[in-house]
Amino acid sequence: MAKTNPYNSRQTASLAFDDEPADGFARPGGSSRPRAVPRPEDDPPLRGNPRYAGQNAAPVPNTDTDEPVRIRRRVPINQGRWANFRWTTFLLRTRIGFALLCVSLIASAGLLVLGYRAVRGFLESDPHFRIASSASIQIIGAADAQQGGLTRADLLGVFGGDIGRNIFFVPLRKRQLQLEQLPWVAHATVMRLLPDHLSIAVVERTPIAFVRLGSSIGLVDADGVLLTLPPATLASRHYSFPVVTGLAPADPPEARATRMQLYQRFVAELDGGGQNVSSQLSEVDLSDPEDVRVIVPAQGNDLLLHFGDSDFLTRYRSYQAHLPEWREQYPHLSAIDLRYDRQVVLKMANGVENEAGSADHGVSLAAASPTVHALRHPAGHGKAHGWRPE
């Protein structure tokens, strides 16, 4: 039995009606135009329904065949009373839900506290994490008693109260600060090495000059930190430095650091010519930051040189070039002021009168004064090379 297409039949009927001749029996209010064929996409339940988005574009019936095109529609499934259930709304906007939320949070916090106490108790009571002896403290970077100013005993004195303590309860930051308060320690780091060891890394200060502190001799580093050693230990070292004056323990650390920066610049500039001039200096006075005063040995006597605060190497070369003729003309020469341009001021020893006049090389002679004599170092000061404490 042949299938018929209802759409084609309706369209055929309409066309047949339109082909009939007008006989005066036209339908009232009728139209001579053919009737529109309904399309599936115009179905009201599908149009504008967000649940069936993408389903509106149904296929257009194929009018070339006799088989109708079936349109498959999705039928919403009734999910029951829990379809629109929201946990956040239940927990935050209902009394029962809010109570359950509070109980769960309290229970979670209690479990965390119990776990923390259990772990802490285990670490405190377990003997594997206790520092048994000083052998469990490793020291890296500290010089031994034969070469540096730090000894193992000096560093272990900071950790004396940690022997027998649990390694997790050793205050590392506090111990680091205590180590850096030692004069010979520039920087320190303290670390835990599980299960029962401590590691200490120390950067030791390096002295760059002797320093005269009253009647005693010590050492000073580049930051102006004053370092002391026992006389026997100091005598066993092979340091070869000038003696620096003008530093005192009562001075602010910033002031000492500034003066030592001037000293380093002075020494670096003198040695920049490749002659290692700094090894020939006996004493460097830094009490006046605008005038570096140096005592140098010259033909069995000591001369006081005023270098100012700049052009150190140029002024030293001028001193070297003219020293023989100055010594020949002025055998009682005591001090030379090199701070002025194109001239120097020669000062005689106390009680020696100077000759008037000027030399051909622009030297002007100044009268001797007690001030110049006071600037001279007392007899017996240390030399740059071979100086040893008494």
Strands annotated E in the chain: 137-140, 185-193, 197-204, 207-213, 216-221, 226-227, 243-245, 283-285, 293-298, 301-306, 333-337, 344-348, 363-366
Q: Are residues 165 and 101 in the same domain?
A: no
Query: 70 in a domain, yes or no?
Result: no
Q: Are residues 144 and 104 in the same domain?
A: no
Query: Contact at 8 Å (CB) between 100 and 91?
Result: yes
What's the pLDDT score for residue 13?
A: 44
Q: Are residues 120 and 175 in the same domain?
A: no
The Cα 145–Cα 148 span in angstroms is 6
Residue whose tokens read 């030791």 = 204
pTM: 0.60
The pLDDT tens digits of the residues spanning 105-160 come to 899 999 999 888 877 777 767 788 889 888 999 988 765 444 567 888 888 999 98
Between these two residues, 56 and 188, which has the higher pLDDT value? 188
Length of the chain: 390
**What's 162's domain CATH number?**
3.10.20.310
pLDDT at 312 over 90: yes
Query: 116 in a domain, yes or no?
Result: yes
The pLDDT tens digits of the residues spanning 272-309 come to 878 888 888 999 999 999 999 999 988 778 899 999 99
Query: Contact at 8 Å (CB) between 216 and 181?
Result: no
What's the pLDDT score for residue 270?
A: 92
Task: Quote the percentage of the chain above a pLDDT of 70.
Answer: 65
What is the number of structural domains in the chain? 3
Q: Which long-range contacts (CB under 8 A, 24 or more apart) does 326-332 make?
A: 326/363, 327/298, 327/299, 329/359, 330/354, 330/365
pLDDT at 93 over 50: yes
Range from 36-40, 133-137, 222-226, 355-359 carrying the lowest mean pLDDT: 355-359
What's the pLDDT score for residue 256?
A: 95
What's the pLDDT score for residue 85?
A: 57
Between these two residues, 21 and 209, which has the higher pLDDT value? 209
Instruction: Give me the domain span that covers residue 290.
Output: 207-375
Residue whose tokens read 């070869």 = 240
Q: Are residues 211 and 224 in the same domain?
A: yes
Q: Are residues 333 and 228 in the same domain?
A: yes
What's the pLDDT score for residue 377?
A: 34
Query: Contact at 8 Å (CB) between 207 and 186?
Result: no
The Cα 345–Cα 359 span in angstroms is 11
Q: Are residues 230 and 336 in the same domain?
A: yes
| Residue 171 tokens, joined | 């205050």
The Cα 268–Cα 312 span in angstroms is 10
Query: Contact at 8 Å (CB) between 260 and 277?
Result: no
Q: Which of 146, 211, 214, 215 shows the shortest CA–CA distance to 183?
A: 211
The pLDDT tens digits of the residues spanning 315-330 come to 999 999 999 989 888 8
